[in-house]
A = this chain, B = another copy of it.
């Protein structure tokens, strides 16, 4: 039996790699672990069956035998910890790879999600236009130090890890905001990650959910 993940039956981005199942798909591809996908509708996600897997009613979830998990970061941490390919063997390098995963999720992502939500949920409010520069400023306050840290290095630490996987997918959420483009080294970093065969397979599999239907 392969592990089973859940993904959107109808994703807002129609499979452009922004839905969070992409994180898990890519991680599983990097470590060569086949998996099954169960698609769920927005209505399914609020039903008891799904809420038993994730009380917050979101995707992705992960089921493997007796283990069920939600929260993309936790799923990737589990995959990375129990396989090889996403975390270095050296304990120090391993701790730092996890650190970058957490930094992506708790330091870099929140202002990006805040900007997304402002657009979706407050885009028609009178204050939206005036708040936008404030929100962009909070994102730049994270991208400036990240870009300085990366410099002209290939990855955040000496080799590609789960930390890069998460950081790249968080940065991809900037799509359409004209902010990533201000940082040539971060743009190259994202492009370098997108060129990985495992990323390509995950992206095509997520996209196929939508293209095969049309």
Contacts and interface: CB of A to CB of B under 8 A. Distances in A.
A95 interface: yes
Contacts of A101: 74
16 contacts: A51-B145, A55-B149, A56-B103, A56-B107, A58-B107, A67-B92, A69-B96, A73-B105, A75-B99, A77-B95, A105-B106, A106-B109, A109-B110, A110-B110, A114-B114, A121-B134
Q: Interface on chain A toward B: helix, strand, loop, or mixed SS? A: helix
Interface size class of A (residues with CB under 8 A): 35 or more
A125 B134 CA distance: 12
Interface of A: 51, 55-58, 66-67, 69-75, 77-78, 91-92, 95-96, 98-99, 101-103, 105-107, 109-110, 113-114, 117, 121-122, 125-127, 130-131, 134, 138, 142, 145-146, 148-149
B98 A77 contact: yes
A131 B142 contact: no
Nearest to A113: B110
A99 B70 contact: yes
